[in-house]
Amino acid sequence: MTLHSTIEAVTRRIVERSRPARTLYLDRIARAAQSQPARRRLGCTNLAHAFAAAGSEDKPALRA
């Protein structure tokens, strides 16, 4: 099955026109994925030790 030439041309224009915005969007998504809280990079045991060692004023922030 082949795509109608008009549909193909319109699709190509949309892809090209949206490329800069899509690139920015994908970059933001990648940065957001890397900027997770540090506790997500700790194993369960290490996280438990870090939590236990934290002061009572820090624990609510760690829970969040």
The pTM of this model reads 0.46
Chain-centre distance of CA 6, in angstroms? 35
Strand ranges, E, within 4-62 = none
Q: Please, what is the end-to-end C-alpha distance for the chain in angstroms? A: 52
Cβ neighbours of 45 (radius 10 Å): 8
Query: What is the chain's pLDDT, residue by residue, as a tens digit (64 residues)?
Result: 888 999 999 999 999 999 999 999 999 999 887 876 666 666 777 777 878 888 888 888 877 7
